[in-house]
Every structure is written in structure tokens, then in C-alpha cells.
Amino acid sequence: MKKLFLTATLLLGIGSPSSAGSLEAYQKACNDHNTSKCFDIGLMYELGKGIGQDFPKAVGFYRKACDGGDMYACSALGIMYFNGKGVAKDIARARALWTKACEKKDGKGCYNLGVLYDEGNGVTRDAFRARDLYRTACDSGDKDGCYNLGHMYDKGSGIEQVPEKAVALYTRACDLGEIKGCYNLGVMYDEGSGVAHNSAKAIKWYAIACKRGHKDGCYNLGITYEYGKGAKQDTARAAPYYKQSCDLGLAKGCFNLGTLYDNGTGIKKNPANAKKLYVKACHLGSADGCYVLGSMYYQGERVEKSFEKAKMLFRKACDGGRTEGCYNLGYLYSSGKGVKPNAAKAAHLYEKSCNEGYAVGCHNLGLLYYRGKGVHKSVTQAIALFQQACKGGYKDGCKNYAILKKGRSHPQGKSSD
């Protein structure tokens, strides 16, 4: 979902009663038809800036400013109706207020109206109407309008895909302060989409995005220097960019920095720091971080061995898309380590890992079919799975496939750890 915004710089130029005169002075100016002061008071009440937060009072002051002709306030009042803050939620009323503001060339009103048509929220979805509204917003100097219009042309979202137009719009969005525009410019130059591939320019835009706090911009710079993608390989230079992305809350930045500490690549080897980063990465949703931590608890490496904790972490890794996490969880259920043995669950997890191309999972599932554990016994299915494991490069799969094809009664090997 695209976010609805009140204003690009919510706090700029807005004082508080303690720093810009008393609230009474603001109210007097508002009563004297100074609509900007009415808006300011409404914003103070909405944000609790210098006074107690009070949404109904914010609505009242926004309405007074809007009725007085302040289109910025009309856009703000629309936000309150859209979110049901201080007033009953009413998307139709929000749309009417944004339409009024947009007709008076308020960029944010046009932008928010564009989001409604882009998503079909309270209106029939209309990508072309959204496109036109974003263009009007952008022409009015609204960075979010420029960015969203660029994104539509970039992805072909309901309109013709024109990467060249996306590049121009991302550039304008970035110039207006939208860091996602800066980052996406980096991606466009990196991929040669809408412009000729240019690693130096990609790095330039990633650096601008990173400096302004875009976590993926920092991460991509880390990748650039760790692997020498478009720049001289310099792992020591990658580390601070991964740290920056991690500090900004990007899980894969934490994980990659953890691997650098684990391997002593570009920075001094520090297993303790690596573990802390894996913990943070896992907490932020990194399946890789959870998998590595699960392996540590399974093996008792840097932590006290705990199959129960390994199970929990392998489950998170599996749910997050790490195939080996699914396989290892299956092995725990097969072997009964940290859990009550459950061949059916093991079979399900082995099958999942096998379907995702993990050859050992195919092999172990083949053993279960051969033995009739957790699944209906089927030598035919076992042969097919051993063959699949063999094609995937797992030697025991090749051995057992050959054994069963020759008619020998027992495949070799146990479920692999």
C-alpha cells in the first residue's frame, strides 16, 4: 500500500507555543482569519507538539483553516477523515477534501487522491486517473507524486512501462528530497534500465540514498565493495555500509556483517560479534540469520547445545524461505532430537526441501518411502527420489538408486544429519 502523506516536511516552519509565542497568540491570529496559524494549531494538536495531543481539536482547527481557503489544511483534514482520527472514518469525505485541494493546485491533495485511484480505495481503481493526479502533484513540486509516477512507469503498473520516464521522475523526486527516488535511480543505472548501465552512477545514487538514511542504499554499497560489483573489491570498505544498513533495521545487512566478522574478511575476526549480529538479523526477519543460529544451538557452537532452541530457529528459517532450515527441522522430527519423533512431519519437511531443490531432502524422503515411515511404503517412489537426489549431486542418492534398480533389497545409509 502506498502511504498517504499530510506534507513532505511535516514540522518545517511549525513552531510550538513555547518557542513561537503563546497558544493564545496563535489562537488570536487564527480568529483574525490567519488560516496558516489555524493550520499550525491543528498540527500541534495532532502531533502533541508543545501541547497535549487532541485529535478532535486538531480536526476543528484544520476545518477552520480549510473553510478559510487553506488547501494544505484541506489535505490535512482529509487525512484525519481517511484515518478516522478525531472524527468518524469517512473515505468519501476524505476524497472530497483532497479533490477540493487538488483543484486549487495543492500537490499533496492531488497525491493523496492519486493513491486512492491507484489502489481502488473507496473508488473504482483507475491507473490512468492515478497517473494524471500524480503528474499534477509532481508538477506542483510534490516529491511523492513524482516518485509514485516514476514507479508506475518503471514497473508498468496499470500503464505502459517506460523506464526512460521513470528515470526522469526518480531524478526529480530525489532532487525534491525523496530518498526512494535516489535509491531507485541507483538500481536503474545498476541494471541498465531506462539508461545505459553505469556502475559509477549507480554507486553515486546509492551513496546519496544511504547518506540520507535509505537502508537498501547502504546495503547495495556493501554488496558493491564486498563482491567488487562495479568497483574494486574492498571488503573492509563493505563492512561500514553493512553496519549502517543494519543500524537502520535491515536484516540482511546485519547478517552480511555477521559473516564478515565470522570469517575475518576485511575486518578482524570476532565470533562473538558475529553471533550478536546473527541474533539481530534473525529478530529482524532474516531466515539466514535464524538458520545459522539454529545450527549453532544444534552443534553447541558458541552457545550451550539445545535441540529445542535449534528447532525453534530452524522453524523460523524454514518459514522465512531458507530451504536448509526446513530440511534440518525435518531431521529433528525424524531423529527425535528436541522433539517427539514424528515421521509424518519429517516427511512433509523433507518433501518441502526436496521440492525446493535440496538433494539431501529428496534422499531422506526416499528412505521414508522405502521404509513406509510417515508415508505409504513405495519402492517406486523411493527409486524416483533417490534418482532426483543423485541428479542433484548427492552421492548416497546415486548409490541407493543403483541398489534398488539392481533389485537389491536394502538401500544403504541412514537419514543424513
Q: Which long-range contacts (CB under 8 A, 24 or more apart) does 26-34 make?
A: 30/61, 30/64, 30/65, 33/68
Q: Mind listing the domains of the chain with CATH numbers?
A: 1-102 (1.25.40.10), 286-417 (1.25.40.10)
Among 9-13, 157-161, 389-393, the minimum mean pLDDT is found in: 9-13
pLDDT tens, 241-272? 999 999 999 999 999 999 999 999 999 999 99
Q: Position of cell 534422499?
A: 363
Q: Which three cell numbers stand for residue 40?
A: 499550525
Which set of grid coordinates corresponds to residue 150? 516514476
State whether residue 54 is helix, strand or coil.
coil
**Could you give the 3-state DSSP secondary structure of residue 30?**
helix
Q: Nearest-CA neighbor of 252 among 227, 224, 287?
A: 287
Q: C-alpha grid cell for residue 233?
A: 573489491
In the numeric block, which cell numbers belong to residue 357?
Answer: 531443490
User: Cβ atoms within 10 A of the Cβ of 4, count?
Assistant: 20
Query: Element (H or E) spanning 383, and its range?
Result: helix 379-391
pLDDT tens for 312-353 read 999 999 999 999 999 999 999 999 999 999 999 999 999 999
**With a threshold of 0.95, does the pTM exceed it?**
no
Find, among 278, 276, 270, 277, the residue nearest to 295 by Cα: 278
Cell numbers given for 2:
502506498
What confidence score (pLDDT) does residue 13 get? Answer: 36
Positive or negative: CA dihedral 222, 228, 231, 232: positive
The pLDDT, as a whole number, for residue 92 is: 97
pLDDT in tens, 349-399: 999 999 999 999 999 999 999 999 999 999 999 999 999 999 999 999 999
157: left (phi over 0), alpha (psi -120 to 50) or beta: beta
Number of H helices and E strands in the chain, helices first, is 22, 0
Residues in the chain: 417
- C-alpha torsion 134→140→144→149, nearest 10: 30
pLDDT at 407: 77
Cβ-contact 313, 297 below 8 angstroms: yes
Report the chain's mean pLDDT, rounded to a whole number.
93
Instruction: Supply 250's cell numbers.
Output: 535491515
Query: Are residues 381 and 301 in contact, defined by beta-carbon separation less than 8 angstroms?
Result: no
Q: Are 210 and 218 in contact (CB under 8 A)?
A: yes
Q: What is the pLDDT of residue 282?
A: 98
